[in-house]
Amino acid sequence: MSSPIQTGYLQVGIEFFRLAREIVFGTRKANRRTVEELNTHLKSVGSNLLTDQERKRIAAYVAQNSIVNLHTRLLHGVPVLKRDQKYGAYFGAFTPFMDDAMDDGRKTYREVIDEVEASPELHPSLAYLWRPVKEILDTNETFHRFYQDTIVAQNESVSQNESTPLTFEELVKITEKKGGSSTLLYRSIATHELYPEEERALHALGGVYQLLNDIFDFYKDTQSGQQTIVTNRPDFFFIRELLDEKVREFLHLFDEIPASRRGKKRALASISIILARGFVACDQYQRLQRDSRFLVVRGRERKELIVDMEKPQNLLKSLSYAARIRKISTDN
């Protein structure tokens, strides 16, 4: 008879390949179609076509939407809908251009949209993508609600790029609000029912996902002067404890969702694969930090501070951590 840990490894392994298939194959068609549409538009208005970097960022954000959509489908036991894929791809492509417009111009979300509508030639990619995003806003009340929350969170996060130091507590609040609202926004593209308990759990999960982004972007954010929880306190022994605490808070909320046991187990297996990446990254940074109070970037090569999750040993470690995360949930 297999042990709970062995069963956990098996379930996580199955969901790992499901997640990989979803990202590699499930989003490829929607991503390619969106990029082709956007390039056709850019060519028609005499603008430069998408750069390799822009295409990569679009693919990354479309994948983020796909991951949240997969969590949701597994939880609710529903099939993939082409509509959800299509609008998820549009919104995924919209997000990096909006982030850049806000960061580069030090503008609020509303200021950028006003500029896009008044002078679309200034932001041709955003102008094209704003149309399908606006369609969702006009037809989906839940998406509209979380969209407004995301605008507030995005506006508040502008302070992370400013020279005025933010306190650790302020950064925690920004991180949780920004990550939580954006994850719920991706979730609300899907039209099936959102349980109140699911909303609370996904908001917490989004905060953890944002913390993961900040962990993996530690080198980049340090170089650019971006204020995050991690750059504010680059003690990765502390960051690991914080990550563990936030994961446990999410698991407690996730257990309260009134979904089927099978759906929750499958959804948690896919979620745990993402969460595990943060612990693998902390392992690498802790080895570099050793007995120092903080991990100092100065004097280190970039490759030391980039966590390569495609390395076989990191993939195996992430599966191990994912199984442990599922075990924590079953022990609660």
**Mean pLDDT in each 10-residue stretch from start to end of the chain (332 residues)?**
50 68 69 92 95 92 88 90 88 91 82 94 95 93 94 87 90 97 94 93 98 96 94 98 98 96 91 94 97 93 92 91 83 60
Q: Find the helix packing angle between 109-118 and 124-139, rounded to 10°.
A: 110
Q: What are phi and psi of 175, to 5 degrees?
A: -60, -50
Q: Provide the domain count of the chain.
A: 1
Which residue range forms the structural domain that includes residue 320? 4-331
Enclosing H/E stretch for 148 = helix 141-157
144: burial class by Cβ within 10 Å (0-12, 13-18, 19+)? middle
Contact 299, 267 (CB under 8 A): no
Token duo for residue 119: 């002078």
CATH of residue 217's domain is 1.10.600
Backbone angles phi, psi at 179, to 5 degrees: -70, -40
DSSP letter string over 22-77?
IIIIITHHHHHHHHHHHHHHHHHTTPPPPPHHHHHHHHHHHHHHHHHHHHHHHHHT
Separation CA 271–CA 128 (nearest Å): 32
Q: Compute the distance between CA of residue 298 and CA of residue 21 in angstroms, rounded to an integer.
A: 38
Q: What is the pLDDT of residue 60?
A: 87
What would the two tokens of residue 270 be? 């896919």
* DSSP notation for 171-222: HHHHHHHHHHHHHHHHHHTS-S---HHHHHHHHHHHHHHHHHHHHHTHHHHH
pLDDT at position 127 is 95
Q: What is the reported pLDDT for 167? A: 96
pLDDT value at residue 4 = 45
Alpha carbons 116 and 120: distance in angstroms, whole number: 5
Q: Compute CA distances 274 → 19, 20, 86, 206, 281, whole Å.
A: 10, 11, 23, 11, 12
Using a 10 angstrom Cβ sphere, with 0-12 exposed, 13-18 middle and 19 or more buried, the burial of residue 191 is: middle
Tokens of 33: 């179609």
What is the pLDDT, as a whole number, of residue 9? Answer: 62
56: tokens are 């990569």
Give the tokens for residue 284. 């690498």
> Which residues have CB under 8 Å from 26's CB, separation 6+?
66, 70, 80, 85
Q: Which two tokens stand for residue 115?
A: 């500029």
Integer Cα distance of 57 and 321 in angstroms: 27
Q: Which residues contact 326 (CB under 8 A, 6 or more apart)?
A: 8, 11, 12, 265, 268, 269, 272
Q: What is the DSSP-derived secondary structure letter of residue 228?
A: -
Amino acid 79: pLDDT:
86
Chain centroid to CA 101? 19
Distance CA 255, CA 325 (A): 13
Q: What CA–CA distance (Å, rounded) separates 127 from 93?
A: 12
